[in-house]
Amino acid sequence: MKDVHAEAPRAGLTLGRVGISGIAKPLSIQRPDRVVTLTVRFDLEVDLPAARKGSDLSRNAELLGEVVEETLVQPLSSLEAACGLIASELLRRHAYATRSTVRASAEYFRGRGTSARRQSLEEYGLFAEAQGLRGPGGEITTSRLLGGEAVGMTACPCAMETARELLSQEFPELREPRLASLPIVSHNQRNRTRVTLRLPEGVEVEVDRLLDAIEAAQSSPTFAVLKRRDEAEVVLTAHRNPKFVEDVLRDLLYDLPKRFPELPDATHVAAETRSEESIHKYDVVAAHSATLGELRGISRA
Amino acid sequence: MKDVHAEAPRAGLTLGRVGISGIAKPLSIQRPDRVVTLTVRFDLEVDLPAARKGSDLSRNAELLGEVVEETLVQPLSSLEAACGLIASELLRRHAYATRSTVRASAEYFRGRGTSARRQSLEEYGLFAEAQGLRGPGGEITTSRLLGGEAVGMTACPCAMETARELLSQEFPELREPRLASLPIVSHNQRNRTRVTLRLPEGVEVEVDRLLDAIEAAQSSPTFAVLKRRDEAEVVLTAHRNPKFVEDVLRDLLYDLPKRFPELPDATHVAAETRSEESIHKYDVVAAHSATLGELRGISRA
Amino acid sequence: MKDVHAEAPRAGLTLGRVGISGIAKPLSIQRPDRVVTLTVRFDLEVDLPAARKGSDLSRNAELLGEVVEETLVQPLSSLEAACGLIASELLRRHAYATRSTVRASAEYFRGRGTSARRQSLEEYGLFAEAQGLRGPGGEITTSRLLGGEAVGMTACPCAMETARELLSQEFPELREPRLASLPIVSHNQRNRTRVTLRLPEGVEVEVDRLLDAIEAAQSSPTFAVLKRRDEAEVVLTAHRNPKFVEDVLRDLLYDLPKRFPELPDATHVAAETRSEESIHKYDVVAAHSATLGELRGISRA
Amino acid sequence: MKDVHAEAPRAGLTLGRVGISGIAKPLSIQRPDRVVTLTVRFDLEVDLPAARKGSDLSRNAELLGEVVEETLVQPLSSLEAACGLIASELLRRHAYATRSTVRASAEYFRGRGTSARRQSLEEYGLFAEAQGLRGPGGEITTSRLLGGEAVGMTACPCAMETARELLSQEFPELREPRLASLPIVSHNQRNRTRVTLRLPEGVEVEVDRLLDAIEAAQSSPTFAVLKRRDEAEVVLTAHRNPKFVEDVLRDLLYDLPKRFPELPDATHVAAETRSEESIHKYDVVAAHSATLGELRGISRA
How much is the pLDDT for A16? 98
CATH number of A16-138: 3.10.270.10
Rounded Cα gap, residues B144 and B76, in angstroms? 15
Q: Which residues of B touch A184 (CB under 8 A)?
A: 185
A96 in reach of chain B (CB within 8 A): no
A280 in reach of chain C (CB within 8 A): no
From first to last of its 301 residues, chain D has per-residue pLDDT tens of 789 999 999 888 999 999 999 999 999 999 888 899 999 999 999 999 999 999 999 999 999 999 999 998 899 999 999 999 999 999 999 999 999 999 999 999 999 998 888 899 999 999 999 999 999 999 999 999 999 999 999 999 999 999 999 999 999 999 999 999 999 999 999 999 999 999 998 899 999 999 999 999 999 999 999 999 999 999 999 999 999 999 999 999 999 999 999 999 999 999 999 999 999 999 999 999 999 999 998 876 5
Selected residues 148-167 of chain C with any CB under 8 Å from a CB in chain B: 157-158, 161-162, 165
The verdict on a CB contact (< 8 Å) between B36 and D37 is: yes
Work out the number of other CB atoms within 10 angstroms of the CB of residue D130: 26
DSSP string, A112-156: EESSSSSEEEEEEEEEEEEEEEE-TTS-EEEEEEEEEEEEEEEE-
The verdict on a CB contact (< 8 Å) between B10 and C301 is: yes
Rounded Cα gap, residues B13 and B176, in angstroms? 73
A289 in reach of chain D (CB within 8 A): yes
Cβ-contact D139, D132 below 8 angstroms:
no
Q: Which CATH architecture has domain C145-301?
A: Roll (3.10)
Backbone φ and ψ of A235, nearest 5°? -60, -45
Pairing verdict, β C35-48 and C15-30: antiparallel
| Least Cα separation, residue A272 to chain B (angstroms) | 18
CA closest to C176 among chain D residues: D173
Question: Which amino acid type is present at position C135?
Answer: G
C17-107+128-138 belongs to CATH 3.10.270.10: yes
Closest by Cβ to D225, choosing from B1, B65, B231: B65
What is the tens place of the pLDDT at every residue in B75-89? 999 999 999 999 999
Domain regions of chain C by residue span: 17-107+128-138, 145-301
DSSP string, D59-127: HHHHHHHHHHHHHHHS-BS-HHHHHHHHHHHHHHH-TT-SEEEEEEEEEEEEEEESSSSSEEEEEEEEE
Positions in chain C short of pLDDT 50: none
3-state secondary structure at position C140: strand
The verdict on a CB contact (< 8 Å) between A11 and D254 is: yes
Rounded Cα gap, residues A210 and A270, in angstroms? 12
Rounded Cα gap, residues B281 and A226, in angstroms? 12
Which of C110, C219, C278 to mutate: most D Cβ within 10 Å?
Answer: C278
| Least Cα separation, residue B264 to chain C (angstroms) | 20
| Least Cα separation, residue A159 to chain D (angstroms) | 9
3-state secondary structure at position A160: helix
- Chains with 3+ CB–CB pairs under 8 A to D are A, B, C
For chain A, what is the mean pLDDT?
A: 96
What is the tens place of the pLDDT at every residue in A121-139? 999 999 999 999 999 999 9
Contacts of C281 (CB under 8 A, 6+ apart): B23, B24, D122, D123, D151, D190, D222, D224
Residue positions counted in chain C: 301
B123 in reach of chain D (CB within 8 A): yes
What is the tens place of the pLDDT at every residue in C56-93? 999 999 999 999 999 988 999 999 999 999 999 999 99
Rounded Cα gap, residues B81 and B149, in angstroms? 18
Work out the number of other CB atoms within 10 angstroms of the CB of residue B251: 20
Backbone φ and ψ of B38, nearest 5°? -95, 150
Cβ-contact C274, C245 below 8 angstroms:
yes
D171 in reach of chain B (CB within 8 A): no
How much is the pLDDT for B72? 84
pLDDT-based confidence at residue A301 (cuts at 50, 70, 90): low
B1-138 belongs to CATH 1.10.3720.10: no
| Least Cα separation, residue C219 to chain B (angstroms) | 14
Listed range (A285-289, B32-36, B43-47, B284-288) with the worst mean pLDDT: B32-36
Which of D2, D247, D274, D285 to mutate: most A Cβ within 10 Å?
Answer: D285
Centroid of chain to Cα B185: 31
How much is the pLDDT for D301? 59
Contacts of D298 (CB under 8 A, 6+ apart): A11, A12, A13, D253, D254
Cβ-contact C153, D278 below 8 angstroms:
yes
| Least Cα separation, residue C188 to chain A (angstroms) | 20
The verdict on a CB contact (< 8 Å) between D20 and A282 is: yes
DSSP string, chain D: ---GGGSPPSB---EEEEEEEEEEEEEEEE-SSSEEEEEEEEEEEEEE-TT-S---THHHHHHHHHHHHHHHHS-BS-HHHHHHHHHHHHHHH-TT-SEEEEEEEEEEEEEEESSSSSEEEEEEEEEEEEEEEE-TTS-EEEEEEEEEEEEEEEE-HHHHHHHHHHHHHH-GGGGSGGGTTS-----EEEEEEEEEEEEPTT----HHHHHHHHHHHSSEE--S---HHHHHHHHHHHHTS---HHHHHHHHHHHHHHH-TTS-TT-EEEEEEEE--SSSSSEEEEEEEEEHHHHHT--B-
CA closest to B163 among chain A residues: A232
Please state which CATH class domain A152-301 belongs to: alpha beta
Q: Which CATH architecture has domain D151-301?
A: Roll (3.10)
Distances (CA, A) of C192 to B43, C151, C152, C213, C245: 17, 4, 6, 13, 10
How much is the pLDDT for C173? 95
Rounded to the nearest 10 degrees, the angle between the axes of helix C58-73 and helix C79-93 is: 140
Selected residues 231-260 of chain C with any CB under 8 Å from a CB in chain B: 244-247, 249-251, 253-254
What is the tens place of the pLDDT at every residue in B157-167? 999 999 999 99
Contacts of A268 (CB under 8 A, 6+ apart): A197, A198, A289, A290, A291
- Chains with 3+ CB–CB pairs under 8 A to A are B, C, D
Average pLDDT over residues B38-58: 97
CA closest to D238 among chain C residues: C187
Return the bridge partners of A41, or none.
Answer: A24, A105
How much is the pLDDT for B116? 85
How much is the pLDDT for B301? 60
- Chains with 3+ CB–CB pairs under 8 A to B are A, C, D
Q: Which residues of C touch A36 (CB under 8 A)?
A: 26, 37
Work out the number of other CB atoms within 10 angstroms of the CB of residue C294: 17
Cβ-contact D185, C241 below 8 angstroms:
no
